[in-house]
Each structure stands twice: as C-alpha cells, then as structure tokens.
Amino acid sequence: MAANALEVRSLTKVIGRKKIVDDVSFSVHKGEIFGLLGPNGAGKTTIIRMIVSLIKRTDGAVMVNGNNLDGQFKETMSEIGAIVENPEFYKYMSGYKNLKHYANMAIKDVSDERIKEVARLVKLEDAIHQKVKTYSLGMRQRLGVAQALLHNPSLLILDEPTNGLDPQGIREFRDYLHSLAREGISVLVSSHLLSEMQLMCDRFAIIEKGKLIHISSMNETMDEAEAAEVVFEVSNSKKAVELLKGQAAAANVKVITDDQFSVSVEKSAVSTINKLLIVNDIDVYGISRVTATLEDRFLEITNKEVKEA
C-alpha cells in the first residue's frame, strides 16, 4: 500500500512563454486534509486542473495511491472525487435524481443504496427528494460533495469549496470534511480564506506566482513564528515601555493601557524582560502570549520570500 494518497512531482504548466505553475511538488497523506493556499491568480486552480486532467501538464507526474495517472488513467481517476469551481446540477430535478444521473455515468457501479448513503453522509437525507432549485448554496455545495463521493473515492479534491457560503455554512462544511478525514478519506482543498484554512487543514502549502514557497503542518508553522506578541500586565506600563525601548531583543513596544503594554519578542526573551522589569521596581502581574494567526504567518513567509528574491 502506498503511504500517500496523492503525490505531485515537478508539476509545471507553461502557456506561451509564461510559466503558470513552476516545478511544484507535494504529497497528501492518507486521511489528512491538505490545503493549497495563495492569493487569487497564484496557480492553485491550474494545479488542481492538471491533477484531475482537465488541462494538460507541460511537465511533471501525478500519483494516486502509488499509481501513475499517465500509465493507469482509468484506475487512478476512479480513486478521485473532485469539485472544481462551483458544482452544477439540473435545478428542475431533485437532488436524488441528479445523483442518480451522475451514478449512471460513473466508471464503477453505484447502487441506489450508495446514493442514499452519501446523502446521509452530507446530511441531505431529509431534502434529497426536493428539487435542487429549492436548495440553499450550502446545500448545493454538500450535494456537490455527495456527487464527488458517489463512486467511493479515496481522494477528494475541492477548489475554493466555501465560496459564497455564510459563516454557518462554512462551519458545517469544515466539520463535514473533518468527519470524512476521520473515515480515512484524504482531502486536497484550495482556498484564499486563511482563517478558515487554519481551522480546516492538517498541513498546507503556499503557492506564490506559480511556485511552492512553503510547506509544513499547521502546528509547526504556528510554532515557527519568528517573534510573538506578548502582553505584560504591570504597575506602570509607560515606565516599562521607556525602559524596554533601548533593548535590542524587544521590538514594537507599545502602551495598551496604564497597566498593560505589548512587545514582540522571541520566547526565550520573555523571562529576561520579566527580570528587567522587576529589577527596576515595576511589578509584573501577568504575562500572556498573543497567538499568531495563519494570516500573520502567511504574510511573514511571503514577505520573506519577496525580500530574498
């Protein structure tokens, strides 16, 4: 058995003289949610379109469960379920009839029981016989996932799946993807909504101008922040800020209130600042670290890439 559900090797797309995707490689482990992050136009959708063979690759290889897409096309594609952009359905037909229509086109046999099963999985069993034109956007997205799951794939690929969903719909969709991952289905999802991806993904890659510039687990990335904002609760915040302004280890020192100030420091410098405050007769009542967001890390990583370039 292959260790990875998906392996992308040196994926490249050239149109004219322009490289839209430039030598991108990554893997998706079995049972994990892997995110492709990047601004609009970074190349995320092009990567996904190449993976599912909607457009040709200029170079590179795609492996699904150890099988090469080029050498075993039908077998490999049968392991993939995908939604690229918005799912489209016949609105005058019911959700069930739409799924039945797609089931008739599937390579694998899809039973009526399987249609009912995926309807339950996406929590549409009570509305599956209603016409799609009566569905909310969130319900249509879930019907799209049901369609992608009909043939029981091991890999689900979703391109900007939360576009247009309200906060409740986004949360329900995220919880649903987590339940799929717990059942062993691997998920590749692309998005530019960083706050949502932080809650959704186990690992992620950042795509910038067609290149992969960072890849890691979500936990590792949050822990790798170069400097964290730390809030000190003290007896005299103005005196403390004046004292710290001359310290090389402390950056962006600012008064919040009369008894609170914040400073950007590495973890190892927190105790040094605490001792310095106490030695200078400033009482310290509390120290708290402001947790970095994925947006903070994304900007830190992409800005660093720009400077190095």
- The pairing of strands 33-37 and 211-217 is unpaired
194 and 264 share one domain: no
Residue 111 inside a domain? The answer is yes
Amino acid sitting at position 273:
I
196 and 242 share one domain: no
Higher-confidence position of 11 and 308 = 11
Per-residue pLDDT at 132: 93
Residue 64 inside a domain? The answer is yes
161 and 238 share one domain: no
CA-CA distance, 142 to 172, in Å (whole number)?
A: 10
Residue 300 inside a domain? The answer is no
Provide the whole-model pTM: 0.73
Share of the chain above pLDDT 90, in %: 27
In this prediction, residue 289 has a pLDDT band, given cuts at 50, 70 and 90, of confident
CA-CA distance, 253 to 245, in Å (whole number)?
A: 7
In this prediction, residue 118 has a pLDDT band, given cuts at 50, 70 and 90, of confident
Residue 307 inside a domain? The answer is no
Amino acid sitting at position 107:
I
154 and 131 share one domain: yes
**Number of domains into which the chain is organized:** 2
Mean pLDDT rounded to a whole number for the chain: 84
11 and 103 share one domain: yes
9 and 107 share one domain: yes
Q: For residues 188 and 48, is the Cβ–Cβ distance under 8 A?
A: yes
Q: Which CATH number covers residue 254? A: 3.30.70.100
273 and 162 share one domain: no
pLDDT in tens, 53-93: 999 999 999 999 988 998 888 888 888 988 887 778 989 99
Domain coverage including residue 45: 4-223
b (16+ CB within 10 A) / e for 233-266: bbebbeebbebbeeeebbeebeeeeebbbbbbbe
pLDDT in tens, 6-22: 999 999 999 988 999 99
pLDDT in tens, 204-237: 898 988 999 888 887 766 555 555 678 899 999 8
252 and 152 share one domain: no
In this prediction, residue 293 has a pLDDT band, given cuts at 50, 70 and 90, of low
Q: Which CATH number covers residue 101? A: 3.40.50.300
218 and 141 share one domain: yes
Evaluate if residue 298 carries a pLDDT over 70. no
184 and 131 share one domain: yes
